[in-house]
Structure 1
């Protein structure tokens, strides 16, 4: 549910704490958004299940069993962290601010939310001093995404960094910078817990 830059930010913080300096870790961190078909539902790429209570969550256990039982490849670790981070984001931000709003208020809130993503890019890049790595896409064995879409996601991420200053003077509409930082930092902490 977070933006590309938010996921890249989380991967950057994790790479420092875990001493993983592999571009495949960063690539895995954005890969779940290369869902099939392009722009389609994220059910498969995010391993989503709907519980009896109607709450949708990633099946982290299924992902671990399928891709992390024998090997800890950086790409899969990054992918796993994306799924965890989305869970944290949904709990911290999406559910409290948007999920339960009535229409058309919900639609307006979602529009503000996505505009805030763009405004936050430059703020987060500067706040964390993010440096964009060269992310070369090499094939990885994974069924749930269309790997051919990854170069487009990487190009979009590069564009986010190139345009980071364009919206820096615009006020956030729905989100606050502080709550975003708290959620990103909590994502890092929860990812670290899952990897122990």
Structure 2
């Protein structure tokens, strides 16, 4: 799945184009599914990894909380699920799962890349100073069956920590991913998120 910072960038980019009344709630919804572990329920997984039928039922989430779609938090959560479904189908199932299972050392490089990408993406999008204050308080958000507001509140220090980095890592080389590849993933997630949000709001 995409990293916390990737999801934050996706939600923030969507908020530039979609009329969000409560941006803080939208951003928090955009990271909320990762606030709990394991993630089976919070990510609305369907299908199995073994037979490659795995998917994220983001429409099922929307159907479950249809009465709350006026909430920017719910819409941010919806966008997160869309982005993770893209990651699942574009990265994990086609090649990443195979390589991680074949090479025990690759998982360390994978998570190291995520740490490098945190810095590279924050630098690229230039929004850290804007977003950081929004992660330091918790507005009133929906109490979902899958993720409680307390889960999100406890999770925020981890996200804030992800935003801290040394300048020298900006130029460090990625091992598993390419930077343009990740930018493409983020921008595609933004595009698809906007398409689906506009359909919800018709």
Which TM-score band applies after superposition, normalised by the shorter structure? 0.7 to 0.9
Tell me: CA distance 1:150–1:165, structure 2 relative to 1, closer, same or farther (3 Å).
farther
Q: Tell me, in whole angstroms, the C-alpha distance in 1 between the residues paired with 2:34 and 2:69.
A: 23
Q: Indicate if the aligned counterparts of 1:121 and 1:164 stay in contact, CA closer than 8 A.
A: no
Residue 116 (structure 2) pairs with residue 119 (structure 1): yes
Contact 1:31/1:79, CA 8 A, preserved across alignment: yes
> 1:94 is matched with which residue?
92
**SS of aligned partner of 1:100:** helix
Higher helix share: 2
Gap regions ≥5 residues in structure 1: none
TM-score, normalising length from structure 1? 0.88
Pairing 1:42–2:43 present: no
C-alpha offsets along residues 102-133 of structure 1, whole Å, 9 cap, x if unaligned? 7441x322221111010011111111111314
CA RMSD of aligned residues (A): 2.0
Residue of structure 1 equivalent to 2:170: 168
Distance in structure 1 (CA, Å) of the matches to 2:68 and 2:43? 21
The answer for the alignment partner of 2:105 in structure 1 is 108
The aligned counterpart of 1:181 is: 183
Q: Aligned to 1:87, what secondary structure does the other structure show?
A: helix
SS in 2 for 1:162: coil
Query: Whole-Å Cα distance in 1 between the matches of residues 90 and 188 of structure 2?
Result: 9
Which 4+ runs in 1 deviate beyond 4 A?
Answer: none
| Aligned ranges 1:3-42 → 2 under 5 Å | 3-20=3-20, 21-35=22-36, 40-42=37-39
Counterpart of 2:153 in structure 1 is 151
Q: Distance in 2 between matches of 1:5 and 1:164?
A: 16
Name structure 2 gaps, 5 residues minimum: none
Aligned residues: 191
Per-residue deviation, 1:70: 5.1
Q: 1:108 to 1:96 in 2, by over 3 A?
A: farther
Q: Please state whether the residue corresponding to 2:61 is helix, strand or coil.
A: helix
